[in-house]
Chains A and B, each alone.
Chain A
């Protein structure tokens, strides 16, 4: 099933481990070099910029090849652009299998990612356009799920997994919408229940995969995806807006969606539970998801009940966060076990520092000097007067 050779793929995992051990200072550089020469493996971009560069170039290559194919089909007179999508997708898969994986030995190198995403996209576009007259896209959703799953199993790819999961949910929503009645009414609960079930299946899959670990990254990615979807399916804002969007129920002023108390409670309590579980089981991704969903929960409250004007809310929020950070720093300082403020040898946290540097210029970067612009920053919602910039973190 899997498109990669076992030894080469496993070597990749071992090399990763060796590098992280070296970074943490447990083994020396010579050992890593030795391991790298002893274990041949697939080529992978170890740096996000290299990945990005290859991804952009390979994406353009695919586009230009697809344009080439479209040109030929247009010349040949069968002016049905649907088939260009199919042709491009076929071309993409052949290139991926024959050249990119087998000859060039690439895995997660940017090139293969670009080709896989583009091919899948073209394939789904072909199916979608074919169904255009029928106006029933269930087949597209189903094929998104099956093809995504197959591609994910074969190419061990997160984006394919993403397509599969999205297809699955689209299918569920579309099914509930068509069957109407109770299912339609309880859609958020249906999605929540389904997500919980998928999560349990995922845990079982993880156990099965524990021996070979090929799919560890993909499964973790899916677990993160499910936690996000679980939260969104119960978030008040999402439920309310989806309610009016999907069901066409415009809420009369003064009225509220059914079970609104439950959804309000869920909006705030679910992120808190995530954060608690993350700290308890030491799961960093879950911690981030929890914090981001908490921020979204607070945004939800502000969206419907702006208790404070924006400026005061920002000031108060800043103060509260500062105190929270300060207290937790004081509490966790000097601890060598469990939760701690001391640095971990295995986890440097460079990503967050880089993000910080980028956010700083984007948010506080001084814009051009004209007075109109200076003041534009001071308008509500902008608030970025002052100026700053950064990006040194790279």
Chain B
């Protein structure tokens, strides 16, 4: 089989040794075509379709004949998922671990999502928690957190985190986060900020206590976006200086974190939030002195400065990190 042109050139220029070249050529000549991630994705799609279908089915047939049998069927399925999960769980550990069964993560996911449907149904039909809707959200959330930690499942953890946010009163899904109306409920934004702060503290604790450290990324991810969106939403509020100060602190923290984790993701998003904060501050400034034309004249230079600054930062990060994280 003909070897790839780039590899050949690397070899010819003497960057890779003959042994390495031979190893690469022999590996490539096997013609392996791995469908691993595709098949896993298919499992994920299958589970999401099934759970969505089950959700609609349950709610559409409320009060109809055969409803109970339908529910019991789904309940059996849910119990089976948990039974399977417990049976094949590698057991709790502080470290990251994987079950030997390829199906394991998908069964855990399906079980949790189905359990969520049931608890929602019980609340809707029998008002188990009365009008304490928060508690009705909290109970499945606790289950998600338990499952996430016991079965070591990042996806379920993220579901649990959105559940926690919903318990406080805002939405943390990517599209939902942007459409939260923080002004509707007084103090909501500060509850959100406090929650994000709790995530950071928890992640730091997990880091030092060596307790499921690989979950930290997920906590940081939610924390950054909640902090960014929540503080920026307060720019026209009475207490905007406080919100901007919090944003500045968050940007500072996440930039340092990005260097620590060598993650371009956190770096770029921290700076983007910082940039929006800074720009809003400038706009705020011009509210006091009305100089619209000045903005138009100055904004290209302002943006050029920002881009120059970002290029410098990226170079700096590249120099101080392994290349593959960036």
Minimal beta-carbon separation of B100 from chain A (angstroms):
12
Q: Are A312 and B32 in contact, CB atoms less than 8 angstroms apart?
A: no
A54 to B306, CA, bound (A): 10
Dominant SS at the B interface?
A: helix
Known: A329-B39, A357-B158, A394-B217. A339 touches B33 (CB 8 A): yes
Which of A10, A345, A365 has the largest number of chain B CB atoms within 10 A?
Answer: A365
With an 8 A cutoff between CB atoms, is A380 at the interface?
A: yes
B33's closest neighbor in chain A, by CB?
A282
- Which of A32, A315, A316, A382 has its CB near the most chain B CB atoms (within 10 A)? A315
User: How far does the Cβ of A46 sit from chain B's closest Cβ, in whole Å?
Assistant: 6
A324/B42 contact (C-beta < 8 A), A47-B264, A336-B30 known = yes
Which residues 299-315 in B have Cβ within 8 Å of A in the complex? Answer: 299-300, 302-304, 306-307, 310-311, 314
A-B contact count (CB 8 A): 358
* 0/1 string, A354-394, CB within 8 A of B gives 1: 01111111111111111100110111101111111111111
CB contact list, A45-65 vs B, under 8 A? 46-47, 49-50, 52-54, 56-58, 60-61, 64-65
Q: Contacting B55 at CB < 8 Å: which of A14, A52, A313, A385?
A: A385
Name the CB-closest residue of B to A278: B33
Could you list which residues of chain B lie within 8 angstroms of chain A, going by C-beta atoms?
4-7, 9-10, 13, 15-16, 20, 23-24, 27, 30-60, 102-103, 109, 112-114, 116-117, 120, 123-124, 133-134, 136-137, 140-141, 144, 154-163, 165-167, 169-176, 180, 215, 217-218, 221-222, 263-265, 268-269, 271-272, 275, 293, 296-297, 299-300, 302-304, 306-307, 310-311, 314, 322-324, 326
Closest residue of chain B to A363, judged by CB? B48
From A213, A357, A368, residue with most partner B Cβ within 10 Å: A368
Which positions in A face B, CB cutoff 8 Å?
10, 13-14, 16-19, 21-24, 26-27, 29, 31-36, 38, 46-47, 49-50, 52-54, 56-58, 60-61, 64-65, 67-68, 71, 104, 111, 210, 213, 279, 282, 284, 287, 310-322, 324-326, 328-329, 332, 336-345, 347-349, 352-353, 355-371, 374-375, 377-380, 382-394
Is the CB–CB distance between A338 and B31 below 8 Å? yes
CA gap between A287 and B322 in the complex, in Å: 33
**Contacting pair A386 B32 (CB below 8 A):** no
* A392→B212 CA distance, assembly (Å): 13
* A53 contacts B272, C-beta separation under 8 Å: yes
15 pairs, A vs B, C-beta closer than 8 Å: A13-B6, A17-B4, A47-B326, A310-B56, A314-B56, A340-B33, A353-B40, A356-B155, A362-B175, A364-B113, A366-B165, A366-B166, A383-B56, A386-B51, A387-B159
Query: Which B residues touch A16, using CB under 8 A?
Result: 6
Report the bound CA distance from A377 to B7 in whole Å.
52
Q: A315 near B54 (CB under 8 angstroms)?
A: yes
